[in-house]
Amino acid sequence: MANKPNPKVVEICKQFILSDEDMKKISNNFLADIKKGLAKETHPEAVVKCFITYVTELPDGKETGDFLALDLGGTNFRILSIHLENGKSEMINEVYELPKDKIVKTSVILFDHIAECLHNFIVEHSLQDKLLPLGFTFSFPLVQVALDSGLILKWTKGFDAKDAVGQDPVTMLREAIKRKGGMKVDVRAIVNDTTGTLIACAWKDTNCRLGLIVGTGTNMCYVEKLVEEKVLFGGKSSDKLKTAHAFECKYVTEILTDTQNTFVHVKKVLEEMHVKNAKKQDWYDLYYICDIVNRRGASLAAIGVATLINKMGFSPVTAGIDGTLYRLIPGFHDQMMEVMKRFVDKNIEFKLMLSEDGSGRGAALAAASGYESKSTS
């Protein structure tokens, strides 16, 4: 009876295991790229661009008032209403769908749909009579030119409103809100999800100095390589498994919540992938592969965070983290901590903090900051 991964699977997966020496090289290269991105003369050719966020200060917990947040980063987007008072927050959260025909045509179609949903949210929650500062989480490549202004570099995640590239999403959102009418909304800030996560966590923990999204960007294409070498499934795959990106990140999460006694989720995933030739050894092997990929992803995330923590030199310091991988994959946090304990300077005290509705709440807090600044200027 098989009770461990096939030695051939272990051998092939060795290329995905990062040694301490590998991670030191990654850390050194990452730091060098950051320095290039920060320097004016090397910024144009830098791989890591280090775009400025225009967030000049973090929240102190004294922010007060009613704010909206719009979180746009995928085919579903969120609208939040947040009440801040005495260091506490009350939040209403609604998720809206962005149909395919709304994200691949024109900027007017896209932002008019967003404004329509925003209007519905405001009416549903009886907010028509309030002046509401809004923070806009925009999780796409953006060069900011002010706290409330930026230029779209390109679309990702299936979005393709070509006329919006090079334009300011805040301006397009404001114009759509004006066209719709019936809303007292003032767009005060635009941030990406990492910045929103940092701000949200800093509101709760003043030591927070770093935000990180560990989302669904895992590449699982090496499974096909294992199949081709007849190590998995007797060399008999399925059309779905051979399709690029068909093996979704959620499958890794499900498989790693399994037990090696029953492999309930492994069997379910293989069924969804139309794999009909899996044996018990394949169950162990697939679990092992997912575990290796998980550890590699956590290690890469950890070494990036460790490098920035060492560069900042704050102690104690908190890193705010969000994203489905960090939230849902068993052992991801522990693996990150294990790597960071080896690479963060010994005189620096650090911790990782899960952001709760981070980017949305953070955008509202950024709007609160922008609102306060404008009110007192």
234 and 317 part of one domain: yes
266 and 322 part of one domain: yes
**Residue of 78, 209, 295, 361 with catalytic role:** 78
- Is 188 considered catalytic here? no
CA distances from 117 to 70, 80, 120, 124, 319 (A): 10, 12, 5, 10, 33
347 and 220 part of one domain: yes
219 and 115 part of one domain: no
230 and 344 part of one domain: yes
For the stretch 316-331, pLDDT in tens is 999 888 877 788 788 8
165 and 230 part of one domain: no
316 and 246 part of one domain: yes
221 and 293 part of one domain: yes
Report pLDDT for 116: 92
- Give the strand pairing for 76-85 and 185-191: unpaired
For the stretch 215-268, pLDDT in tens is 643 222 222 366 555 667 676 767 777 676 677 777 888 888 876 667 888 888
Q: Which of 188, 194, 191, 222 is nearest to 208 (CA)?
A: 194
28 and 74 part of one domain: no
Look at residue 65 and give its three-state secondary structure. strand
Mean pLDDT of the chain: 82
- Is 163 considered catalytic here? no
For the stretch 52-84, pLDDT in tens is 777 767 777 778 888 889 988 777 888 988 888
Residue 51 inside a domain? The answer is no
For the stretch 119-130, pLDDT in tens is 999 999 988 888
**Close Cβ partners of 284 (under 8 Å, ≥ 6 residues apart):** 2, 3, 4, 5, 6, 260
Number of domains the chain contains: 2
Instruction: Give the pLDDT band of residue 374 (cuts 50, 70, 90).
Output: very low
Residue 118 inside a domain? The answer is yes
Residue 199 inside a domain? The answer is no
CATH of the domain at 128: 3.30.420.40
- Is 78 considered catalytic here? yes
Across the range 167-182, mean pLDDT stands at: 92
Across the range 5-13, mean pLDDT stands at: 87
341 and 230 part of one domain: yes
Report pLDDT for 216: 46
CATH of the domain at 248: 3.40.367.20
Report pLDDT for 61: 76
Residue 251 inside a domain? The answer is yes
Percent of the chain having pLDDT more than 90? Answer: 16
Percent of the chain having pLDDT more than 70? Answer: 88
Which of residues 158, 191, 224 is at a domain's end?
Answer: 191
**Residue of 89, 139, 355, 359 with catalytic role:** 139
Residue 376 predicted with pLDDT over 80: no
233 and 339 part of one domain: yes
**Residue of 71, 112, 193, 258 with catalytic role:** 193
Lowest mean pLDDT among 178-182, 311-315, 326-330: 326-330
87 and 162 part of one domain: yes
Instruction: Give the range of the structural domain holding residue 137, as residue numbers without chain letter.
Output: 65-191
